């Protein structure tokens, strides 16, 4: 059985993963609106991955004798100042999520909940990957500078994900 504090924290993270998916879908629509279909497609795939993360929390909650609870999902922004500003938010968001996963791990360890700690290990590793992949795109965006041609080249590259 899950302790109520752990169950509540896992449900909070389930909601945050759904928000991540929602945020990236909103960004996918934004990039599509500014004619960057590669960025749009990259974020659409990312949104699907976040939904997968949410389902891992859903399944673990259920398997561990808790109950997944569907709370309201916060509405993400609709507009961004530009392609670089939007992607900077992706990078910042992933860093924030890493902090949430680490806080969850701290809680699982403090409560001596070994099963939850082992479940969370996958997310600790996943966040290293998420920060790496989003950081790489951001570095490429920085390198593009003000060149529209390079931006379209990067967009074409991201369409291949
Ligand atoms: Fe995630
Ligand atoms: Fe993520």
pLDDT at 5: 98
Q: Are 7 and 55 in contact (CB under 8 A)?
A: no
d(CA 141, CA 59): 36
What spacing in Å lies between the alpha carbon of 20 and ligand 2's midpoint? 7
3-state secondary structure of 158: helix
d(CA 102, CA 122): 12
The alpha helices in 64-147, defined as continuous H runs, are 83-110, 114-144
pLDDT at 108: 98
3-state secondary structure of 133: helix
d(CA 151, CA 82): 12
4-158 is classed in which CATH architecture?
Answer: Up-down Bundle (1.20)
What spacing in Å lies between the alpha carbon of 80 and ligand 1's midpoint? 21
Query: Which bound ligand lies closest to the C-alpha atom of 51?
Result: 1
Query: Which bound ligand lies closest to the C-alpha atom of 132?
Result: 2
Averages of pLDDT over each 10 residues, the chain, 161 residues: 96 98 98 98 98 98 97 97 97 98 98 98 98 97 94 97 86
What spacing in Å lies between the alpha carbon of 131 and ligand 2's midpoint? 8
How long is the chain? 161
């Amino acid at each position: 059985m899950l302790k109520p504090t752990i169950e509540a924290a896992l449900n909070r993270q389930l909601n945050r993963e759904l928000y991540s998916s929602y945020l990236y879908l909103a960004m996918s629509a934004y990039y599509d609106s500014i004619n960057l279909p590669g960025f749009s497609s990259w974020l659409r795939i990312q949104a699907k991955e976040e939904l997968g993360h949410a389902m891992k929390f859903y399944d673990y909650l259920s398997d561990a004798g808790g109950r997944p609870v569907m709370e309201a999902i916060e509405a993400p922004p609709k507009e961004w100042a530009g392609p670089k500003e939007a992607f900077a938010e992706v990078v910042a968001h992933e860093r924030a999520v890493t902090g949430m996963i680490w806080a969850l791990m701290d809680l699982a360890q403090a409560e001596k909940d070994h099963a939850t700690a082992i479940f969370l290990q996958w997310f600790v590793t996943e966040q290293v990957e998420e920060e790496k992949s989003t950081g790489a795109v951001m570095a490429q965006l920085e390198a593009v500078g003000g060149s529209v041609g390079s931006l379209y080249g990067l967009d074409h590259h991201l369409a291949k994900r």
